[in-house]
Chain A
Amino acid sequence: MQVFSDEAVNVPDSTDWLGTPLACLMPVEQAFRCHVCKDFYDSPMLTSCNHTFCSLCIRRCLSVDSKCPLCRATDQESKLRGNWALREAVEAFTKSRRAILDFARAPPPALQSPTEQSNSPTKRKATEMDGAKEEDQETKRPRRSTRSTKTRAAELTAAILQEEEDTTPSADPDYVDQPPDDGLVACPICLTRMKEQQVDRHIDTSCPGSPQAAASKRQAAVAQTPQPPSTFPSFNNRLGQSTQPQKPPERLPALAYSMLKDTALRKKLSELGLSTHGSRQLLEKRHKEWITLWNANCDSSRPKKRSELLRDLDEWERTVGNPGGGSRIGGIGMTIGGGAGQGPMARAQAAGAEIKDKEFDGKAWANRYGDSFGDLIKQARKGIKRQTLDGGANSGESAKEKKKETEAETEKEDTPADLLPRTRPDGDGESSVAPPTPMDIVPPSSPPRLDEQGGDTGMDDEQQVIPGTPEKGNSKWETSQQQKQQPPIAGDA
């Protein structure tokens, strides 16, 4: 995991100003940082007690404690208001931060020769210093190597792109059209501009009634007549944008979970396109987290796409949502994957992801599916014995080897997980059915739910293959065994 070595060095912090002549900027930067995440404010929101936090941070805090983390005054999510002035200030500061820091870290100009000074001294020095710093870090941390420079380059391009985006005219829904200073007045009904004395007649005869109608009429007119050379180009631009469907996303209301039955909650989740797997508690937590993510996104000046939010939720599910065993990751992953969700491959992938998870509890897994592992091992042994007999007719040596193998395996009865992959015949390209991997034989992503509250028979139960039921859970293994026995076995290697 490279996270630490790369990110630890790159995480900007207010203490970066210490040791530079601009140490007094540390409190300034601290004022631009959220007290909860300690990062720069992201969509800052004002509480009823006049404290400010990132939208996501304060929404999470309130969902845990319903109190302001700073003064512990009781507050509600619905009372939060955006602090837009601070948002702009933070944006401006973060944009200029790098340059100011480079400037502060550069040696004082007195040390430089006059020729250097004319050649934009701060920039040159800054890049030189950066280079030196990077070399230094590279000798200290050999793992940093090329990746960090690549990511840095990527970051740079991203920053440039971001800046370009910023300079394009913004589509702010709250933009209020300033009346152009053209000596005309607007019709009070349809807002069309005209000479003052024309207004009365216009209302009596030709007023279309609503501003939208007028706008579309005007648009049509604009489209027909050639564009006026230069007077109001931006005005026309704005008009064009305002006619595009630009509904700001609506905030989701909180649910009173105690009033909802399991099925109703599942319905709510599936209406939102979220996974309905897991215990009641997890369902509530998932719904709550989605509302938090969604509503915080509504506060953002650059809202994320739904798919990005789903990814955030997935990330949350893997870490915070399910600290014990990550056995429900599949649920969400499948929802994102869309139609593939029900297929055995998706299930296998989900289970595979689960096994690879760092916090995967191998023992619990082995206990839970010990029976089906046992069945599979028995079948595998049978298959191998039969193979050994078949193979014995062809070549005595390989049969002997196989016998030895089987014997060795019988000694190791207690380690089913070890056995499984080895008993599997290798390297046959003819069989259309893939050799079973541990992922294939494990049940789907949500194991039997012992922690379920109330005897709810969820709809996902029908889709589940219960481990150990031979007709379903093991059928694949059997078919693959049969297919493998038909062609003559050529030997182990």
Chain B
Amino acid sequence: MSALHAARDGPITEDFFKALGRVKHIHNDVKVLLRTNQQTAGLEIMEQMALLQETSYEQLYRWAQNECRALTQESCDISPVLTQAMESLQDRPVLYKYTLDEFGTARRCAVVRGFIDALTRGGPGGTPRPIEIHSHDPMRYVGDMLAWLHQATASEKEHLEALLKQVSMQGVEENIQEVVGHITEGVCRPLKVRIEQVIVAEPGAVLLYKLSNLLKFYHHTISGIVGTSLAALLTTIEEMHLLSKKMFFNSLSLHASKLMDKIELPPPDLGPTCSLNQTLSLLREVLASHDSSVVPLDARQADFAQVLSCILDPLLQLCTVSASNLGIADMATYMVNSLYMMKTTLALFEFTDKRLEMLEFQIEAHLDTLINDQASYVLTRAGLSYIYNCVQQHKPEQNPLANVPSMDSASLKAAMVQFDRYLSAPDSLMMPQLNFLLSATLKEQIIKQSTELVCRAYEELYAAVMNPSSQYKEPETILQRSPQQIAITSRKQLEWASAPPKLMSRFSSGELVSSYPKWRSSGSSLSCLLVRLEVIVQFENISAVVLQELYWIVVVVEAVIPKKEVIMTLTAKLGIVLSNNHRQEGLGIKGNQVVKPGPGSGPDMGRIKD
């Protein structure tokens, strides 16, 4: 009893809690007395105990409040007595709540002051340096502030957990979250003002994007501590995230609208325009920073469609508009080149499947134009164009073919001489536009398919001439070669003539290799995977070693999800490149066998799992 009284103005001790417990105990025990005929005594004792209890609780509350009020240093050691006090006070919810409020207010002050100190004063003797020293470097500045707050939030939660560890009532977890939310509310204003300043200064699209990712990351990280409750700090971070994202997309749209304001004409070599190259390099930068972003994969995917449509759609429109005054073949070449640049840019990034498919489709359409053009170019130059038209338009009920003007055997023979010349050097008859194609593979594809068209035309001509109803005398002397011979010859000539592919080198080989597992994990479809691999194996600076590593990754990754087709394609492609390399570099690789690297030389497995 004296312990309770003694505590009136002295410190609270262990004894206080013992006495308080005893009083509570007596209060309960006395209830028995009420059932006997000692009721008066019982009531008196009860009253006395109740009074004692109330004054003690109030005393305890006042003490605890004072204790909490003093907890304004950066270090905050919760004494066991205070913990015990909170345990006792839970019997008086109002006092308990007030004490927690007091604690929250004191800590809130401490955190704000600590934050301002870290921003402006730094540590002892200037190390660590004040955060604001790096305000010229937006990522570092914002990152340091948020990291400081993350650590402060974690510490504050620990303090609260220490304070309330003996409290057994329900909803302690909510209490903690609520108070942590209150404590961190004070820093919101200084934080917001500073981040806003950074964002409004328009640090450029890429930085804005990185900032928005950073903010998102910390929103995620800090909400892990304060829970998903609507803490003011989280709201502020989210606001800043949305602001930076909005500014980022604004900046992209601005870029796009500038493009459309002043449309650049296609250059004479029908290659990509400067503005296309610039925009693609912006896109690449954004995608690459997206790549290195700290935001989880699924969250990243969501932004992607928007970024792509913000940049790619205006680009496609730009190309179409700027090509509108070109001739058909020029336009097709220009479009294929532009689309090809977009494709190679996108192929190295994840979540681009849909766009890749679309680009591929558009390229195909323009290729068809070029293939037909090239075939008719050859036929015209070889003097077969008119003859072929006659054959096509000739109907059996008309005069025999031999009697049609300019279809006599002499004219045919003259045309065949020219055609023979073409056959001996198919390269000589090539539309000038084809030489402007950036992709050697596409150029080859055009030549190959147009040659097939030419062969088919010859086949028709041959059939018509050999037909007795055409009434040619000794048709074998007019057309000395069979269509099969033509096909074989032209194919052979093409193989002979095909130049080593013209390749691009904008990425380092290491980047290529490390990007493969990413597409894989992002669930790239099989066909897109092949498109991407196609782009990869065309890089000229890709060495045999890198290819082997890539092959190795594919084999390892695919072993988990077996996709034979991918491996086969890659093996074949690598085989060709390797044997080329073998020829060029004299590497000791036998034939086109891919040498599987031994253990230890393979890539970091962690990277694949990632």
Partners in one complex: no
* A residues apposed to B, CB below 8 Å: none
